[in-house]
Amino acid sequence: MEEYRIPLLGEEFPKLTVKTTHGVKHLPDDYKGKWFILFSHPADFTPVCTTEFVEFQRKKEEFDKLNCELIGLSVDQVFSHIKWIEWIKEKLGVEITFPIIADDMGEVARRLGMIHPNKGTNTVRSVFIVDDKGVVRLILYYPQEIGRNIDEIIRALKALQVSDKYGVATPANWPENPLIGDNVIIPPATSIQEAEERKKKEEAGEIKCFDWWFCYKPLK
């Protein structure tokens, strides 16, 4: 069996042709110009996975506003996915509108490092956030026994987009950080001259600093 190295942050997402509940898709090409989140679940018709899919769907409008598509995945077959989403609609009143990859041969899971032998033969709960240029920006792995926090995934997506747009960093728990609230962090100065300019900006009230290497400002 061919061994793959999982893509790393900052690398292009590998080109994959996948079977989904919405037909064949080509990743990342079919999502050019859009961000997408590919997330795997251990199996259809399992309680934790069901709660996650319902929550992803419930938050889908927020992902849409962020120009981000959702794609699920497990090693189940397409007919299993279809039956499961029918069950979710019938029993829970939620219609799953995003595609689910049927990776029944496990090829995609192996390529993306989603199967961890010490946790069984099913896919663990992986999350790949891929930007509108097809570059991997964030990777998360959760064990089967822990459901994901969908709000945290949305927060991370927003933070990545803010960082790209404004050239800033975001603090812990942003936008509710105990030290600086919803402000954003200015990258550290890279020269003596830049450090001196920071001091002038602080004196003028344009930015705030704990020190020259730790400055922040409102997101405007």
Q: Do 136 and 202 lie in a common domain?
A: no
How far apart are the C-alpha atoms of 133 and 136, rounded to whole Å? 9
Q: Do 195 and 126 lie in a common domain?
A: no
pTM attached to this predicted model = 0.92
Q: What pLDDT is recorded for position 180?
A: 97
CATH number of the domain where residue 128 is located: 3.40.30.10
Q: Do 88 and 142 lie in a common domain?
A: yes
Q: Which domain holds residue 185?
A: 167-220
| Token pair 């981000």 in the structure block, residue | 68
Q: Do 123 and 183 lie in a common domain?
A: no
> Residue 35 pLDDT more than 60?
yes
133-174 residue pLDDT tens = 999 999 999 988 999 999 999 999 999 999 999 999 999 999
CATH number of the domain where residue 214 is located: 3.30.1020.10
How far apart are the C-alpha atoms of 99 and 75, rounded to whole Å? 14
Domains identified in the chain, total number: 2
171-183 residue pLDDT tens = 999 999 999 999 9
Q: Which of 115, 149, 183 is the last residue of a domain?
A: 149
86-129 residue pLDDT tens = 999 999 999 999 999 998 877 888 888 887 877 766 788 999 99
The larger pLDDT score, comparing residue 203 to residue 106, is at 203
Dump the DSSP string for 59-103. Answer: THHHHHHTTEEEEEEESS-HHHHHHHHHHHHHHH-----S-EEE-
What positions carry a catalytic annotation? Answer: 49
Q: Is residue 95 part of a domain?
A: yes
Q: Is residue 157 part of a domain?
A: no
Q: Is residue 80 part of a domain?
A: yes
